[in-house]
Amino acid sequence: MKLQRRSVLAAVLIAAPTLVRAQAKLQIPDRWYAVKVEDNAFIVEMPGIPDHKVLNDASARGTPFVLHSYSLEAGGNSYVAQTAFYPADVEYREPQRVLHAALESRAKQLNGGKWTKTDWREVAGAAAVESAGPLAGGSQLRQLAVSKERRFVSLAFMGRRGRRSLLQVAQAHLMAKPRIHVLAPGGTIATRPDSSGAMQMGLGADDLVAAVPLLKGVAEIAAETVSRVGSHSLGFDQIHALAARIRALEADGVVVTQGTDTLEETSFLLDLLLELDVPVVVTAAMRNPSLTSPDGPGNLLAAVRVAADPWMRAHAKALGVVAVMLDEVYAAADVAKVHPTRVNGFASMQTGPLAALVEDRVVPMSLPVRDAMIAARRKLARIGDKAAPVALFWTALDDALPLIPLMLAASDRVGYRGAVIAAMGGGHAPERAVENVVRLAKAMPTVVSPRTGGGPMLRKTYAGPSSEIALRQAGLIWGGRLHPLKARVLLETCLRAGLERAAISELFDAFG
């Protein structure tokens, strides 16, 4: 028999009595316990069984299949399970001989176990194998392993025989749509006209979801209105609160709908604050709902499809927070607003999109390099509640930046604790501004970032008082490839976390 699908999971379960028998009337609750397999890694989860423990687990890549095995103790019995992942052109019956030999060898180590029944089924359109083994007190352990849309799923049930259908529950599990939580802080996407025709905040999360009926076919949607403000009026504290709310959600993915004005900043801040194994997607609208062709509904549908996509969910940690605009997926560290009004107003000039939406599917293109983000999260493990305002100065032709000494003279009143200089070229400032820039760097952590909007800056090419060599020697922190707006977000977060200048410099240095 040849497989007609891309892959199949085969699992065989062995039961072996332990030396110490459980009491005959041991009561095992009739509960379902998930054993999930993703990216060839097995996760055994059986909470609530006092005598359950995973003895060992291991994975090995064989020919022509990937083999995974684990053993556990539950209900007074010892069990060994092995799962194999076969390519589509391999007849899976033949490799069973290899599995059987390995299982039999391991079973003998568990006090001479015996084989249990194994039945091949089809569940939710995918080949599956169901196994059963006896437990003390007339109960049994049943397991079903199945592959479906890049997901490896294994379900286990401990309880009385015949109480529930494993296949029915497995089918419901596989057929269930992902749970996506939509959080709506506001923005153009949530506006509606007032009596004068001017657009005002007014739509909530339920309104946004109701405007896109196709969402029902993609995911189970929960909608929550966080606020009704334009993103130009959002603050750091509000994004920290939003991150805390996202952490508390029990969902398979999260979509944030907000305004475009600060999306490149808020998405990056969320990426610094969150490390989740589910997708977090930020989206918005360039055209308000009163116009003939608003892009908000399409962007929301695309964002939910991205959050629900199996590839996105499997790579959530590797991708981090992403932004979705006009059917393209961007890394939060790279996305930028590049036009004030057009629907194609967002881009990632340095790296391009991570994925694109074509028809109703997500087409992956690349995974981002996230070493710097991972290192930043480690240093930012404890972030305080006290705000740390950061000033942003843009260098320009014939500008000496005279506001810097005025700001320093009134430092107690203005309250800035750090600064970012959007520098010319590869990291330069006008010579007439150097004195003020150096004074600023001596007074507070000051980061230099390219005013071009991103890209690694020079470090040791040009000489002269306003060159990158001179500015670095004067103590300015090099911001790497980060856009000045993102450098400001990162510096504020560093200061809020209580990092000293040396640690801040090391953190920024990782960004190139």
Whether residue 383 is found in the same domain as residue 328: no
SS3 call for 368: coil
Q: Mark which of 146, 175, 204 sits at the end of a domain.
A: 175
DSSP string for residues in 341-365? S-TT-EE-TTT--SEEEETTEEEE-
CATH of the domain at 405: 3.40.50.40
| pTM (predicted TM-score) | 0.72
Q: How many CB atoms lie within 10 A of CB 426?
A: 16
Determine the residue type at 197. G
pLDDT score of 10 more than 90: no
pLDDT score of 120 more than 60: no
Whether residue 438 is found in the same domain as residue 397: yes
Tokens coding 386:
């006290």
Rounded to 5, what percent of the chain is helix, strand, coil? 30, 30, 40
For the residues 311-334, what does the mean pLDDT come to? 95
Q: How many CB atoms lie within 10 A of CB 295?
A: 25
- The answer to the question of residue 334 being in a domain is yes
Which stretches of 110-189 are DSSP H helices? 166-175
pLDDT digits (tens, 9 = 90+) for 276-297: 989 999 999 999 999 999 999 9
Domain boundaries, position 140: 7-175
Confidence of residue 125 (pLDDT cuts 50, 70, 90): very low
Tokens coding 61:
């890549």
Task: Provide the percentage of residues in the chain whose pLDDT is more than 90.
Answer: 61
Q: How many domains does the chain have?
A: 3
Whether residue 379 is found in the same domain as residue 495: yes
Q: Mark which of 156, 175, 194 sits at the end of a domain.
A: 175
Q: Mark which of 353, 368, 383 sits at the end of a domain.
A: 368
Whether residue 25 is found in the same domain as residue 42: yes
pLDDT score of 430 more than 70: yes
For the residues 81-107, what does the mean pLDDT come to? 46
Whether residue 303 is found in the same domain as residue 236: yes
pLDDT digits (tens, 9 = 90+) for 245-276: 999 998 999 999 999 999 999 999 999 999 99
Whether residue 394 is found in the same domain as residue 304: no
pLDDT digits (tens, 9 = 90+) for 142-195: 555 554 443 444 444 444 444 444 444 445 545 568 899 999 999 999 998 888
SS (H, E, C) 185-196: CCCHHHEEECCC
Whether residue 363 is found in the same domain as residue 378: no
How far apart CA 352 and CA 381 sit, in angstroms, is 29
Comparison of pLDDT for 40 and 343, the residue scoring more: 343
Whether residue 315 is found in the same domain as residue 449: no
Whether residue 275 is found in the same domain as residue 408: no
